[in-house]
Each structure stands twice: as C-alpha cells, then as structure tokens.
Amino acid sequence: MSSQDDKDGVNLKQSTKKRKLYGRMSDVNKKIRLQSHETGRNCNCKRYKCFQVVNEEHRARILKDFNVLPSKDEQNLYLCGSISLLEIQRRPRKKESESKLNTANYAYRVRLVDEMQHLDASKTPIDMRGKHSTRPKKLSSALKTKVMDHIRSFRGRKSHYSLHDSSNIYLPEELNVKKMYDMFLDKNQLSYETYRSIFVNHFNIGFDIQEVIHAVQVMNFWLRQKLSN
C-alpha cells in the first residue's frame, strides 16, 4: 500500500485507548462478592457444639481474615487446607445393591490460634473458570482480521481544521457504525456489540459532524482574534 493510501485510508491507532482492567462494574461486583461472606446460622450441632466451642469473637475474626484474602484461589486454598479426607468408619447393614454408599467422608478444621504453618506438599488448586480452550463463541483471529480489514476499506480523511497533527480519521456524515456493520453482515456473521467494540478500541474514526464542530471552533477563534485587534 502506498504512503498516500496510508494517509487517506483508515489506519490503526498509534495510541489506542484500552479498556480499563480495573474499575469496571464487573470487577467491582467480583470484589464485593469476594469480601462479603457472612456467618451462617447456627447448625445446632449436638456432637461438636460448633457455635459454643467457637465463640462469636473468634467467628468474626476468622471470617474477617478469610474475606481479606486477595483472590478466590487463595480462599479456595485456605478451605482445601482445612479439609481432611476420612475413610468410612461404619457401613449400613443393607446390601450394597440396595444402599447408597459414600466413598469417603470430608471434615474441615477451624483454626483458632494465631499461628499458621504452610506446608507445600501438593499442587495448589487454581480457579480455571473461563480460562479453558473450549469456547465455541470466542471471536476467532481470522474473523477479527476480517472486521478490521472491512473498517480499513472505508476511505476517510484527516481534519483540515485541527491546530495540531492528529491521527483522527473522519468518514462521510452519511455513514455510521450501524450502517458499516450492516454492510459487513452481507458476507459474515457477527454481533453488533463485537463489531462496535473493535471499531472503538482499535481505530480513531469519527464522522463529519466532528469536522463541523472543529470548523465552528476555528472560525470563532479567528473572529475573536479579529475583533480584539
């Protein structure tokens, strides 16, 4: 592609405004869920007498320490470290074909003392939800390339009224993102939200209404300069 085509065409932004990794509502809600665990109701356990052995002050401190753990992986690691796998001590008298047999019992311990010892004896569990490779609706790199090539195919121009050199490209006022998306749908299948996300996050493209605004601002500036003289 020639330098003139690069100048007239729609190019990638040099400094793209990325979506914030932190501060979005989804991240805020995730943080709230991570730190908002509450004590459940009394289990009325007659064997261990949990709520009597562990008083309210200890329960509040344990819950507070658990809620301040920085990630769900560390919370899961804390819980896994407190769970013990026990063999079944007593089987029912029914025949095995008639009874529902448990393979194991699980018990968990509650730490009341302040000291804690870390034992690296096994592999640390990691929350892999949303990180697997079997995502049938994930946007493929080939389709993303098609979208970007389609947006680049619209010939725009730079502003004539900008006082500084800008990478902004302006398309005709008759166009908008929805019309461009409808043209793309003639040969491809893609959601409007995905198309618009690529348009906003990877390109500095506006429509001619911005050119009008710039023109008015420049004219007002020169009129003020002329009147002041």
- What pLDDT does residue 77 have? 85
Query: Half-sphere exposure of residue 141, counting CA atoms within 13 Å on the CB side?
Result: 0
DSSP conformation class of 103: S
pTM for the whole structure: 0.38
Q: What residues contact 206, with CB distance under 8 A and at least 6 apart?
A: 168, 169, 170, 171
The interaxial angle of helices 192-202 and 141-152, nearest 10 deg, is 60
**Highest mean pLDDT, choosing among 51-60, 116-125, 164-173:** 51-60
Mean pLDDT of all residues belonging to the chain = 73
**What proportion of the chain, given as a percentage, has pLDDT over 70?**
60
Q: What residues contact 110, with CB distance under 8 A and at least 6 apart?
A: 54, 62, 82
- Map residue 142 onto helix, strand or coil: helix
Mean pLDDT across the stretch 174-196? 85
- What pLDDT does residue 165 have? 62
Distance CA 86, CA 103 (A): 9
| 58 pLDDT more than 80 | yes
Do the strands 205-207 and 169-171 form a parallel or antiparallel pair, or are they unpaired?
parallel
**Highest mean pLDDT, choosing among 53-67, 194-208, 213-227:** 53-67
Q: How many residues does the chain have?
A: 229
105: which strand partners?
86
| CB-based burial label for 147 (10 Å; 0-12, 13-18, 19+) | buried
Distance CA 137, CA 21 (A): 22
Domain boundaries, the chain: 25-108, 137-228
Task: Find, among 168, 169, 144, the residue nearest to 155 by Cα.
Answer: 169
Each residue's pLDDT tens digit, 83-138: 777 777 776 666 666 666 666 666 665 555 555 555 455 566 677 776 766 677 77
| 145 pLDDT more than 60 | yes
Q: What kind and span of H or E run contains 200? A: helix 192-202
